[in-house]
Amino acid sequence: MARSIMEMVAAAKAVVPSISPKEAVALVEKGALVVDVRDPPELQEGGKIKGALNVSRGMLEFRADPKSPYHNSAFEPGKTIILYCASGGRSALAGTALKELGYTDVHNLGAFKDWVESGGTVERV
């Protein structure tokens, strides 16, 4: 039976725990990798979380899989990963994908605007 994208996002959000900006800061202090899954035009418009790695949603699995020729060494299956996007949907789907690749400590920060509104540090790209 086919599912809508909103049903897929809801299922992903049920699997990937959401965290607050404050919780994200604490995890980063312990070495978590922050990943922005938005597309480059979105970053150019509003910047990104300081220190975040940008990997657009379409390339995430290729960058995260150690067996892929496109693997980015910042991704380690045992590392804590924090994902975010514009509203939290793509980051939830990305978290599900990472879990399928064997990542176990994956969190959804959700919307970039929530980070900004909480006073989180942003860098322009």
Residues 83-103: tens digit of each pLDDT: 999 999 999 999 999 999 999
pTM of the model: 0.95
Q: How many domains does the chain have?
A: 1
- pLDDT band, residue 1 (cuts 50/70/90): confident
> What is the maximum alpha-carbon separation in the chain?
43
> What integer pLDDT is reported at residue 125 of this predicted model?
86
Check if the beta carbon of residue 35 is closer than 8 Å to that of residue 55: yes
Q: Which residues pair with 54 in a beta bridge?
A: 36
State the average pLDDT over residues 102-116. Answer: 97
Parent domain of 85: 5-123
> What integer pLDDT is reported at residue 56 of this predicted model?
96
Closest CA to 34 of 94, 90, 80: 80
Residue with tokens 């418009």: 45
State the average pLDDT over residues 50-72. Answer: 97
Q: Which CATH number does the domain housing residue 76 bear? A: 3.40.250.10
> Taking phi first (over 0 means left), then psi (-120 to 50 degrees means alpha), and beta for anything else, what does residue 102 get?
left
Distance CA 116, CA 120 (A): 5
Q: What is the mean pLDDT of the chain?
A: 96
For the packed helices 5-15 and 89-100, what is the interaxial angle rounded to 10 degrees?
60
